[in-house]
Structure 1
Amino acid sequence: MNNISKQSNIIYFISNKCSQTIGGVQTIIRLIEKAMPEQKFIENVLIYNEKDIKLSKLPNVEVATIEKKLADKVQYYKTIIMEKNENISKKSIVPGSKIIVFGAQKLLLLTKRQLRENEIIIFQSGKPDVTLASMGNTKIPIILKDRLKYIDKFLFFTKYDKEEIEKIIENSNIHCTYKSYIVPNPSKTSRNQICRYTNNVMYLGRFDILQKNIMEYIEVADIIYPEYKLNAYGYGISEILLRYSKVNVKGIIDDITEVAKENSVLLLLSNSEGFGNVLVEAFSVGMPVIVYNSYPAAKSIVAPGTGKLIPYGDIEGVKKAIKEILKDKNTFKKYSDAAFKASKKYVKEDIVDKYIKVIKDEI
């Protein structure tokens, strides 16, 4: 546990980008900040690019960037990791504060003195190996090991993520004492069962080969055509590949509600995900999902009747699942009702209340 001698009224966030930009973590940060208007927040961000700024800064928030130039970033990391100077004035954190860190790997951005003198709260921000910087391995890098003992609270997406993360910690022979919490990500989409029975399925997200596995959608579109059509909403460097396939590229949308009446099933066939926010957004409009079991949280999110969890890479399994869910209007209605019912667990306001309870909970 940390040696906290006095209490500060400041809450710090350590994340990649500030809450004025668009993204899953940034949305969570902003929801917490808006729900606690009297609380002072300081965001210590890894990347700050004015071109990314889309939203106005909230009055109770300050943003401190960790160096804009690459050379300065490298020097900063070196200073922290080598512990050459534990008192970096321009990055100083008031002792006795709460520091919310998105991903345990970002503990490397804090000095050991900062870790000792403040309450450290880890929010899971990716799949388990990314959260712990083990990146597919079963053990945590040596450089991070001695920092995990300073964690006071750890918030996990699901019980499956908790099990996998704690297994990696155990395999690394690290003894940690922290309070644990399980809180799923919220849906940014308001609950309204507007999804309708059609012969269209959809993908919503980045057009990316490595993580999002965009080539899989090209194969699916090919084998389900002409009985069913696959619409893709998003952007990315791989868009050109989609345009030369049977996938219908439909452009960028702000929310799934814009296309819920035109599509009946959401596909998520990624190589990996952290949580998969788009799944709970689909539930919010009553849209069933078909998901590869390529990450732990999927097992928790895709409850029986809400869709289908498919073995990774099973294209024929995806086709079979589409045909089953869209067999007829009554079958679709059962899946849609189950998905919409499941969305109650991801209501934004309820999840934010849980975040605040975690933050305020005594250690």
Structure 2
Amino acid sequence: MKILLVGQWFVSEDNGKIVTPGGTERYVYGLAKQLQNDGYEVMVLSATMDKGETGFNELDVLNTYIFKAPAKFYGYSIDILSFINTMKLVRRFNPDVVHVIATRYRFAAGAIAAAKIMKVKAVYTRTTLPHSEGRRRLSVLLDDWVFTRIIKRVDAIISLSREMSEILTQQINPHNMVIIPNPPVANYYKKVAKERNSILFVGRLEIATKGIDLLIKALRHVQMEIPEVKLHVCGRGDDSSLDYLLKLVSKYRLEKNILFHGHLSDNELVDRYSNSEVIVLPYLAEGAVSYVLVEAMSAGLPVVAYDLDCFCEALGDGEFGVLVRKGDVKGLADQIVRLLKDAKLRGYYSKMSLKRSKEYSQETIVRRIEEVYSDLFEVT
């Protein structure tokens, strides 16, 4: 079977290494590699805002076609470009299925419209939680009356979580939706000596959604109980967010307890996951089971997280990890201290993480996506 993956973004290459900066890129890359390993013929179509090469290329043994996106990505021109380029690739590659992966309805709508005009089966995965995107009246009207109607024409919709499926049901009422979480792109298990009293945070340094400021505030309480505690912060942020976080660290005199590592490569992340004793995910908004959570579980890390719907879903409502009421700083600190002080408890949750991660392996997740493709051609 031939699959055209139309991804809003895709991975890039830097000095011979694959760079996977965000969730959409990781989804498309992991899916493409596993499909190829499973014997599918795969082509990847994606957009870029960088100055790198466009057109046909090969990246990590994957055939790709990259087109230049406009600076104002969420203007209507992106749908026109995704439509034109999907039409071009469908004619050239002649796929059995066009699978569109995007953060919003825009970009996706153009690609789906092209697939349906060409009478090719279309699948849509949305990688962020649908919500009001704050656009002007004309844009909202067009979204409501044009984009969602195009999305309704897909042959199958893949939702990444229960919460996402509930919102999609309200917006477009799909009859053909299945819940399949993100496929991870690597195995993060590596048995090495742990750094004592080490905590890990991985994610964008966004105050509004990732809650890293709340974790720093919680660490103030942890440090009173465990003076030598170390928090390793891995991820990028804009200058204003980083400046605010550094001021917070200084305010609570935690300079010796918190290390900011910036963006890490996959290999560096493997080491960081392996060296840490606990991972803390104080996220305040997340529409799907995050890559970070799956990676941490596959590394056997005990998980402490706020009780977002997607985390409750992935952690079995507390069976496979520790859940704390969203926004509760002291409760977060108490659970971190509890785990750091109890090696037996850490061992238990480490085993539970590994057990749960098997249900989220790349092979398992992609097999379910392959079943979606196959079901499109079943005679009813």
Whether 1:11 and 2:4 are equivalent positions in the alignment is: yes
Please state whether the residue corresponding to 2:276 is helix, strand or coil: coil
Report the AA paired with residue 261 of structure 2: G
Partners of 2:159 and 2:181 within 8 A in 1:
yes
> Do residues 32 (structure 1) and 31 (structure 2) align?
yes
Gaps of 5+ in 1: 1-7
Aligned length: 337
Judging changes above 3 Å, is the alpha-carbon distance between structure 1 residues 195 and 354 closer, same or farther for their aligned structure 2 residues?
A: farther
Structure-2 change in CA distance of 1:75 and 1:212 (3 Å): closer
CA–CA distance in structure 2, aligned partners of residues 345 and 308 of structure 1: 18
- 119-128 or 156-165, which moves further after superposition? 156-165
Q: Is contact 2:155-2:376 (8 Å) kept?
A: no
2:312 alignment partner, one of 287, 293, 299 = 299
Could you say if the C-alpha distance between residues 204 and 12 of structure 1 is closer, same or farther in structure 2, counting changes exceeding 3 Å? closer
**Does the CA-based 8 Å contact 1:210-1:271 persist in structure 2?**
yes
Separation in structure 1 between the aligned mates of residue 363 and residue 6 of structure 2, nearest angstrom: 20
Question: CA contact under 8 A between 2:48 and 2:66: conserved in structure 1?
Answer: no
| Contact persistence 1:212–1:270 (CA under 8 A) | yes
Pair 119,329 (structure 1): closer, same or farther in 2 beyond 3 Å: same
By how many angstroms is 1:134 displaced? Answer: 8.9
In terms of fraction of residues, the more helix-rich structure is: 2
Percent sequence identity over matched residues?
A: 19
C-alpha displacement of 1:56: 6.2
Q: Which runs of 5+ in 2 are unaligned?
A: 14-18, 136-140
The equivalent of 1:214 in structure 2 is 212
Return the alpha-carbon distance in structure 1 between the equivalents of residues 205 and 214 of structure 2. Answer: 11
2:168 maps to 1:165: yes
Counterpart position of 1:92: 88
Q: What does residue 176 of structure 2 align with?
A: 178
Following the alignment from structure 2 to structure 1, what is the Cα–Cα distance between the partners of residues 199 and 376? Answer: 46
Give the TM-score normalised by the residue count of structure 2.
0.74
Query: For residues 207 and 76 of structure 1, what CA distance do their matches in structure 2 show?
Result: 30
**What are the superposed Cα offsets for residues 131-189 of structure 1, whole Å, 9 maximum, x if unpaired?**
xx699xxx9733323113211111122344323432x23xxxx4533252434432623
- With 111-120 and 329-338 compared, the bigger mean Cα shift is at 111-120
Kept in 2: contact 1:16–1:47 (CA 8 A): no
Q: Contact 1:242 / 1:248 at 8 angstroms: preserved in 2?
A: no
The structure 2 residue matched to 1:271, chosen from 284, 289, 293, is 284
Q: What's 1:249 paired with?
A: 259
1:158–1:69 Cα change, 3 Å: closer
Aligned CA distance change for structure 1 residues 90 and 14 (closer, same or farther; 3 Å): closer
In the alignment, the residues of structure 2 paired with residue 189 and residue 33 of structure 1 have an alpha-carbon distance, to the nearest angstrom, of: 16
Contact 2:206 2:212 (C-alpha < 8 Å) held by counterparts: yes
Partner of 2:148: 145
How many Å apart are 1:24 and its aligned residue? 2.4
1:348 equivalent to 2:362? Answer: yes
SS in 2 for 1:306: coil
Q: Residue 189 of structure 2: SS of its match in structure 1?
A: coil
In structure 2, the partner of 1:76 is 77
Partner residue of 2:138? Answer: none
Is the Cα contact below 8 Å between 2:181 and 2:365 reproduced in 1? yes
SS of structure 2 residue aligned to 1:251: strand
The CA deviation at 1:32 is: 3.0
Aligned pairs for 1:316-331 within 5 A: 316-331=330-345
Q: Is the 8 A contact 2:160 2:182 kept in 1?
A: yes
CA spacing shift, 1:153–1:60, aligned 2, 3 Å:
same
Distance 2:179 2:73 in 1: 36
1:312-344 CA-partner distances (Å, limit 9, x unpaired): 211111012113323422122112221121121
Query: Does structure 2 retain, via aligned residues, the 8 Å contact 1:286–1:340?
Result: yes
Q: Tell me the distance in 1 between the aligned counterparts of 2:192 and 2:85.
A: 53
AA paired with 2:148? K
Q: Report the secondary structure of 1:126's partner residue.
A: coil
Give, as a single letter, the amino acid of the residue that structure 1 aligns with 2:244. L
- State the alpha-carbon separation in 2 of the partners of residues 188 and 165 from structure 1: 29
Any runs of at least 4 consecutive aligned residues in structure 1 with deviations exceeding 6 A, and if so which? Answer: none
Distance of aligned partners of 1:34 and 1:198 in 2 relative to their CA distance in 1, 3 Å threshold: same
Partners of 2:189 and 2:47 in 1: CA distance:
32
- Which residue number in structure 2 is paired with residue 333 of structure 1? 347
Listed one character per residue, the Cα deviations across residues 219-269 of structure 1 (whole Å, up to 9, x for unaligned) are 112222143432212332333333341251241433443124542211111
151-160 or 12-21, which deviates more: 12-21
Q: Which residue pairs with 1:4 in the alignment?
A: none
In structure 2, relative to structure 1, the CA distance for the partners of 1:212 and 1:71 (3 Å cut) is: closer
- Give the equivalent residue in structure 2 for 1:5: none
Structure 1 position 272, deviation (Å)? 1.4
Work out the CA distance in 1 between the residues paired with 2:319 and 2:197.
19
Letter in 2 for 1:33: A
